Structure 1
Amino acid sequence: MTRWFCSFWAEEDTWFYFEVGTDGWISRQVELQGPARKPTAAACLAEWQSAQAAGTLAQYEAVFGATAEAPVQEWDGHEPHDLTLYEFETVWRTARAACRARAGNRPTHGA
């Protein structure tokens, strides 16, 4: 069963929002940093894997970041707060839009 939760990590002043599959691996992850909760990542594991296979991983990570590289059950110190799918999707859509907008505002190489 898929589940959604968030966790605040004070040492990084970051909220992490996760969609976790039945295998414990993160399928989608959002990171919001600082008091303004600025989106710094909104990554999807399937997209990340596709970008890796296509040789465009650096570009993907520059825009959306990456998902965690360990199953949730292997993490120490996280205190999850359960979310509904709706709550996760709201944060996901907002963070994705912010990541895309930020990427669109970056100067292109050589410009």
Structure 2
Amino acid sequence: MRHWFRSYWTEEDTWFYFEVDADGWVARQVELQGPLGKPVAAACLAEWQAAQQVGTLAEYEATFGATAESPVQEWDGHEPHVLTLNEFETVWLTARAACRAGGRNRSTDGA
């Protein structure tokens, strides 16, 4: 069963929005940075894996970023705020559109 939550990381001034599967792996992830909530990432694990398989991973990451590489159970120190699917989808669709339009903050690539 999937669940959705967000978490604020003060050190990066970033809201992280997650869709997580039953095993704790991030299926989709959005990162909104700074006081204006600029999209830094809006990545999907399945898309990331497909891009890796066909050799377009660099292009995918330049546009959408990447998802977390460890299950959320392994993270410490960040209080999750539960979201509904609709709340997550609203943020997801807005961030994806911004990333597609080139609105992603490219200066944070590789982070």
In the superposition, the TM-score normalised over structure 1's length comes to 0.91
Runs (5+) with no aligned partner, structure 2: 104-111
**Counterpart of 2:106?**
none
Aligned pairs, number? 104
Runs (5+) with no aligned partner, structure 1: 104-111
Q: For 2:97 and 2:56, locate their aligned partners in 1 and report how far apart those are by CA, in whole Å.
A: 20
Task: State the SS of the aligned residue for 1:50.
Answer: helix
Question: Does 1:40 pair with 2:40?
Answer: yes
Shift, 1:78, TM fit: 1.3
Q: For 2:55 and 2:88, locate their aligned partners in 1 and report how far apart those are by CA, in whole Å.
A: 29
Q: For 1:55 and 1:79, locate their aligned partners in 2 and report how far apart those are by CA, in whole Å.
A: 36
**1:17-73 C-alpha deviation (Å, 9 max, x unpaired):** 000000110000000000000011000000000000001000000000000000000
Letter in 2 for 1:18: F
**Counterpart of 1:28?**
28
**Counterpart of 2:72?**
72
Cα RMSD after superposing both structures: 1.2
Task: State the SS of the aligned residue for 2:102.
Answer: helix
Q: For 1:77 and 1:71, locate their aligned partners in 2 and report how far apart those are by CA, in whole Å.
A: 14
Q: Which portions of structure 1, spanning 4 or more consecutive aligned residues, are displaced by more than 2 angstroms? A: none
Alignment of 1:51-90 (within 5 A): 51-90=51-90
Q: For 2:92 and 2:54, locate their aligned partners in 1 and report how far apart those are by CA, in whole Å.
A: 24
Q: For 2:62 and 2:78, locate their aligned partners in 1 and report how far apart those are by CA, in whole Å.
A: 26
Q: For 1:24 and 1:54, locate their aligned partners in 2 and report how far apart those are by CA, in whole Å.
A: 26
Q: For 2:92 and 2:11, locate their aligned partners in 1 and report how far apart those are by CA, in whole Å.
A: 23
Task: State the SS of the aligned residue for 1:102.
Answer: coil
Q: For 2:15 and 2:51, locate their aligned partners in 1 and report how far apart those are by CA, in whole Å.
A: 25
In the superposition, the TM-score normalised over structure 2's length comes to 0.91
